[in-house]
Structure 1
């Protein structure tokens, strides 16, 4: 039984978690089951994964559909990557830090793609919510995505901060560019799999070198704008 989520204890045992914390613990615990089984996961399987009785699930969530939607939304929260980013050793050289960041990013995008597929599956198969509830869910989704993205960006900026003087651009712009290159590369890697073809290899080191040095063989100039053709009158 998962000690972080278990049912209310008998006298002499630790007190149960506060409601919000228990809810988050349940969502974390059931995520692997939902990712593997999709909507075919049974209430019993979800309860066993969370280490609680089935009745406990329904004291926290209204029904299975509500639980599954909440689990998918929680898994798609960008902020879920922040602890892994913050765990990168800030004393490592810049390139090594970025390689580790890219490795985390590739893994996260692959996982997000799987969860997005599940989101569509859940949306199609589970009962529709009332319009007011659906609208509330959309607003909450938009807010969480924006807040989660901001949290990831802040974590990346903190990771880059020791080398701020080495960049030509503000750290926020560097973080944004890294995100664009990483997500684009990860999506390109995922596209062949959708068509039943093998995924091309994506090297985090290659991505980092592209970001830091560009694609030109000669990188002796700190400002690539000299490569633009001169205007003629």
Structure 2
């Protein structure tokens, strides 16, 4: 019976470590080739992908049917909002409000910049999965609970503001070619255009 942890055609040698399970091998390849795909787009070669993963081309295509399947797997992972939600949920609610908003803005903006960079390379038909808004609202509600008395709007509105600002400032034809830093977006969310930062 074929060992399920061994890829088809890959013998198990007692002289080396046990091969990775198929899902683990796929995850390793995806992680290794993602920077290359973000640099070269669909023009990347099979040889480049294999070299980036540190394995033979044949090993790549025992884990994935073909180059297109591998590219689609990378895009599916990068377009998924679940890791972003997990990262946002890890922000310490006990931090000062300004630090929490800055951390959230930094994460959300980085995700949108990554997504739109991939869409520019692989075509606008590659759309990200939709993040459940109620999940995001609950994350922000927990994050901002200690500062509820300072807020002029509910946490879900703060989440929406950050999402919309990070979204619009990540698209060149919407931001007029002007790059906004996470700190600048944070200042807009917290202080608007006329408010003042609290004195330290």
> How does the TM-score come out when normalised to structure 1?
0.64
Matched, 1:48 2:48: no
Alignment correspondent of 1:230: none
Question: For structure 1, which segment, 35-44 or 145-154, has the greater mean C-alpha deviation from structure 2 after superposition?
Answer: 145-154
Cα drift, residue 83 of structure 1: 5.1
Alignment correspondent of 2:161: 177
Report the aligned-residue RMSD: 3.4
- Give unpaired runs (5+ residues) of structure 1: 1-6, 124-137, 219-233
CA pair 156-55 structure 1, distance change in 2 beyond 3 A? farther
What is the correspondence of 1:200-219 to structure 2 with a 5 Å cutoff?
A: 200-217=178-195
Cα drift, residue 77 of structure 1: 1.7
Q: Does the Cα contact within 8 Å between 1:103 and 1:204 map onto a contact in 2?
A: yes
2:11 and 2:144 map into 1 onto residues whose CA distance is 44
1:111 and 1:158 map into 2 onto residues whose CA distance is 26
2:47 and 2:104 map into 1 onto residues whose CA distance is 37
What is the correspondence of 1:1-233 to structure 2 with a 5 Å cutoff?
A: 10-11=13-14, 13-82=16-85, 84-86=87-89, 88-120=91-123, 145-146=129-130, 154-187=138-171, 190-191=172-173, 199-217=177-195
The count of residues paired between Structure 1 and Structure 2 equals: 188
1:157 and 1:24 map into 2 onto residues whose CA distance is 32
SS at match of 2:161: helix
Larger radius of gyration: 1
2:133 and 2:54 map into 1 onto residues whose CA distance is 31
Q: Does the Cα contact within 8 Å between 1:85 and 1:104 map onto a contact in 2?
A: yes
SS at match of 2:106: helix
SS at match of 2:51: helix
Q: Does the Cα contact within 8 Å between 2:41 and 2:122 map onto a contact in 1?
A: no
- Give unpaired runs (5+ residues) of structure 2: 1-9
> How does the TM-score come out when normalised to structure 2?
0.73
CA pair 165-16 structure 1, distance change in 2 beyond 3 A? farther
Cα drift, residue 9 of structure 1: 6.4
Q: CA-to-partner distance for each residue in 1:31-52, whole Å, 9 max, x for gaps?
A: 1111112222111211122232
Q: Does the Cα contact within 8 Å between 1:79 and 1:148 map onto a contact in 2?
A: no
